[in-house]
Amino acid sequence: MENIGGDRNKVQHATQWVRPKSARALLVRELRKQFGQAARAAEEIAEESLAWMGLVQGITLPGCVRMSVPATSSRRYAPLRRRICQITAVDVDEDAEVWQEYGLAVMQRRRLTRWIYEIYRQGGYASLTELAAWANLTPTALEHRLKPVREMGIWLPHVGGPQPNAQHLALEPWLVRRYLEQGSVDSERALLGISEGAWRRILRRFAQAAIHPLAAGPVMGFSLVETEQLQALARYAQQGDHMAGLMQELMRDAFGAHRDPADNRAFSPAQGQRYLEWLGATVEELGLRSLGEGELLFYAMAAEEGAGARMRSARIVPVRLQFFTQEDALAGYRGASRRRVFELKFGRIRRFTNEAWNQSALLSLPDLGLLMGMHTAAIRRKIAAHEGSFVPTRGRVWNIGARPTAVRRMVRVQGVTAAGD
């Protein structure tokens, strides 16, 4: 198991300050606060709500971003033939869970493979050079992250990559086949960064593809290649009596996967209607936040929440962040030092913190760690190396766990009061 540079206790401490700001956690908080739901019921309803929200046209969920990507697998034409695809740049729940359980390198690997398949399912091809810059990795580091995936025989669709064949399955069909053959994929999940929740969703999607093969692409978003591979696996699984019980269990689970959140038995009819109205208003608000190319929503703590603020009661606000810009590209793969990412990393750190600051919110080092795919200690070193730059993290503005900083003095100059002033 890879856990590069990670004291597990430090990682756990960092992720516990980020996960409460995920869309799922905020739904759970409101379900308990406004609708009186018990913890377990709130978790279940929140998961159903996110699945339902994912099917609503015209909204971009927090953490998702539209990016220009190659529309061809040809290296020659990839820079010219482009299309816009939406990727889950940051999945706060899953990324934090994988980081905590398996380490940063595995989280980076999971994020890269997620991007590769999301792009392919929308008719694009990932450029590994571009993905490396999105992930703040050098091309060499990216290849190192993907090497175990290739060695497993998993097919990765990208510019200049091989075409699919019967021996090289896509990631989800590959995992399902391995599970059907040996009954467990724990070691494979640890290497690929597939959390327990993500694995349940993969099995559910497999069952749904078996039940509704014609809807596997349009509804579940699978590519044609993945759909055909999953259907072949479903036929294989149903041939043996020993698999009948498994398929029945998966199919029962699949039928309830996308039900209306208001139908949950934890709600009374009146409560269900009230919750659906509230959820509809939330979706409408997301739809009104028209995001530009390269822009995402990320939840951060409001700037006025002081050093002693408690996460469970603090005001959390959505902020618009430019995930990746032309300036980033010039500092990375399009620049003179394409195999160095030092300035790329710091430029993004500075932009993220200032964009949040300008929207009356503050990003913490753990927030930045998840956004950047970097350890908080590395981010702290990057900031310290540019002490004269205005980098308003939550800790630096409120002097949390550190000496007074230049940022605090700059905040005073700008007429904003920090803790204790």
Render pLDDT for 5-41 as a digit per residue (tens, 0 to 9): 446 677 777 777 888 889 899 899 999 999 889 999 9
pLDDT higher than 70, residue 260: no
Instruction: Report the predicted TM-score, pTM, of the whole model to 2 decimal places.
Output: 0.87
The 10s digit of each residue's pLDDT in 97-124 is: 999 999 999 999 999 999 999 999 999 9
pLDDT (tens digit, 9 = 90+) per residue, 298-340?
A: 999 999 988 778 877 889 999 999 999 999 988 877 766 666 7
- Check residue 417 and give its pLDDT: 41
Type of residue found at 415: G
- Dihedrals φ, ψ of 147, to 5°? -55, -45
